[in-house]
Amino acid sequence: MRRCVSPALAGWVLGLLAPCWVALAVSAEQRGPAAQGKPVLRAGAATSNITPFLGEPIVGGWSAPAATHIHDELHARCLVLDNGIERIGIVVVDSLGVPREVLDEAKRQVQKQTGLAPDHLLMSATHTHSATSARSQNVLVPNSEFNDYQRFLVRRIADGLRRAVNNLQPARIAWGTAQEPRHVFNRRWRMKPGARALNPFGGQDQVKMNPGHLHPDILEPAGPVDPEIAFLVVQATDGRPIALLANYSLHYVGGTRGPEISADYFAMFADRIQQLLGADRLDPPFVGIMSNGTSGNINSINYGAPPEKFAPYEKMRLVAEHVAQAVFAQCPKLTYHDWVPLGIRQRELELAVRKPTPEQLARAREILAHPEWPDKFPHERTYAHRVVQQQESPATIRIILQAVRIGDLGITTIPFETFVETGLELKAKNPFKPSFTISLANGTYGYLPTPEQHALGGYETWLGTSRVEIEASTKITAALLEMLGELKKGGTSRASN
């Protein structure tokens, strides 16, 4: 006897089996290239909570008040890319800056736990000004022994990368750019001849950082801005978002409610782009990441206009919203690739440490010998300490530079608060398009003005704020362009001195 199956029952059975077929199809698709010896692009992402205890000093200003509240948690945000030939790890840490020795130890632990080579790890800081310090007393002298927070940070960065490796899955990748000019302003202003722009050493500067709104003696900004947001986005093969890494040349936003810990707009961007992509509550969780571009002379305040008033954290949210919306608007236009070439070059570069003149050193020691003396010039005593520290520092330092290729996207890294002019030059000359520079990467050594900006003076150029030779940015740019050229020619990933 022939049995008939009702359409309803047949539909129910098909509905029950359909997910299995999809899973089998996806599984076969994922196995296929690897089974045939073809490399497969995989990606994994994770976050690691690095929030310190309350009571620790918040750094970034002229004083360091003890943290009394945590507005939002701090994280190390991690992304690992593996194309079957190369594996690269990227970490962005919610911190003012992390010294090389701390990051080097984190890299050693990552290698021990995952096999990921230290010269294939890019680690940077966001430069939030509402976090406690991860830095040593003198950034030019490595700590011989870590403090409690540095030890904690090492473990948590390593944990985050280990989890990202655990989350590796077949993926596809795209990259693009967006524009957001409303929140980037050059904070260095040329002053009228004869205007008061004193430095801590008793000299007169031609430019002034943050001179005040509509100051009667300002002429014009002393340099350009970069309104571009460059980004890459990674999806699972079924279209589920894995991570989005963006880069914007904005120092930070600020505007907390007193001495509170916050990751600033960087984390708010990560949260907002997650919402816009519909990536909430995924397993594994989506990871949004905002890295700091070349923002050493850029902030979000227009001193050529009247001041605006914002409630605590309001402007952070506004900037994060605008930047996230700009990125999201470009996402439908992206072209995804199920495999891309990956490459990384790492090089150590030796730079001379700036030293005070005999007159500067004598003056600094005289000031420090008389604590009862009031400051004659802005921050005179603070810079007396810094002058002596520069004198006692090594004659040279060795820094890490990296050039990274992800398909047609190029990334460079610099361990300084890099001026926007350097970033724009690297973008213009980079053989990969688009491209961006991540500052405060693989170390933190202070500001990196260009030689032309050094000649104008201003806070960022002062001895002790800028710690290395005046030609440093020129040498760094030349080295990075050489490394990018090697990657473009298809050179193997390797480290060099």
Residues 173-213 pLDDT 10s: 999 999 999 999 999 999 999 998 999 999 999 999 999 99
**pLDDT tens for residues 127-180?**
999 999 898 888 999 988 999 999 999 999 999 999 999 999 999 999 999 999
Helix (H) or strand (E) holding 398, with range, is strand 396-406
Given a cut of 50, whether residue 392 has pLDDT beyond it is yes
Q: Which of 37-46, 373-382, 422-431 has the highest mean pLDDT?
A: 422-431
pLDDT (0 to 100) of residue 4: 38
User: In this prediction, what percent of the chain has a pLDDT beyond 70?
Assistant: 91
pLDDT (0 to 100) of residue 495: 58
Q: How many other C-beta atoms are found inside a 10 Å radius of the C-beta of residue 337? A: 16
> Global pTM?
0.91
Whose tokens are 């001895």? That residue is: 463
pLDDT (0 to 100) of residue 143: 85
Average pLDDT score, the chain: 92
pLDDT (0 to 100) of residue 144: 83
Mean pLDDT of 421-430: 99
Given a cut of 50, whether residue 363 has pLDDT beyond it is yes
**pLDDT tens for residues 230-241?**
999 999 999 999
- Of 250-264, 274-288, 357-371, 478-492, give the lowest mean pLDDT range: 478-492
How large is the angle between the packed helices 100-114 and 148-166, nearest 10 degrees?
40
Given a cut of 90, whether residue 24 has pLDDT beyond it is no
Per-residue confidence at 493, pLDDT binned at 50, 70, 90? Answer: low
Mean pLDDT of 111-115: 98
- Of 19-28, 386-395, 435-444, give the lowest mean pLDDT range: 19-28
**pLDDT tens for residues 404-419?**
999 999 999 999 999 9
Whose tokens are 């003076």? That residue is: 457
Residue 77 and residue 234 in contact, taking contact as beta carbons nearer than 8 Å: no
Per-residue confidence at 294, pLDDT binned at 50, 70, 90? Answer: very high
Q: Residue 392's Cα: distance from chain center in Å? A: 29
Per-residue confidence at 7, pLDDT binned at 50, 70, 90? Answer: very low
pLDDT (0 to 100) of residue 169: 99
Residue 189 and residue 220 in contact, taking contact as beta carbons nearer than 8 Å: yes
CA dist., res. 350 & res. 102, Å (int)? 19
Given a cut of 80, whether residue 30 has pLDDT beyond it is no
Given a cut of 60, whether residue 15 has pLDDT beyond it is no
CA dist., res. 44 & res. 234, Å (int)? 9
Residue 120 and residue 83 in contact, taking contact as beta carbons nearer than 8 Å: no
> Please, what is the Cα angle at 348 between 342 and 353, to 5 degrees?
145
pLDDT (0 to 100) of residue 136: 82
Q: Are strands 169-179 and 287-292 parallel, antiparallel or unpaired?
A: unpaired
Q: Which residues contact 257 (CB under 8 A, 6 or more apart)?
A: 69, 71, 312, 313
Write the Ramachandran bin of 88: left for phi over 0, alpha for psi from -120 to 50, otherwise beta.
beta
Given a cut of 80, whether residue 13 has pLDDT beyond it is no
Which residues face 352 on adjacent strands? 396
CA dist., res. 365 & res. 324, Å (int)? 49
pLDDT (0 to 100) of residue 17: 34
pLDDT (0 to 100) of residue 137: 80
Mean pLDDT of 91-102: 98
pLDDT (0 to 100) of residue 182: 98
Per-residue confidence at 460, pLDDT binned at 50, 70, 90? Answer: very high
CA dist list (Å): 21 to 25, 237, 338, 425:
6, 16, 22, 51
Given a cut of 90, whether residue 325 has pLDDT beyond it is yes
pLDDT (0 to 100) of residue 219: 98
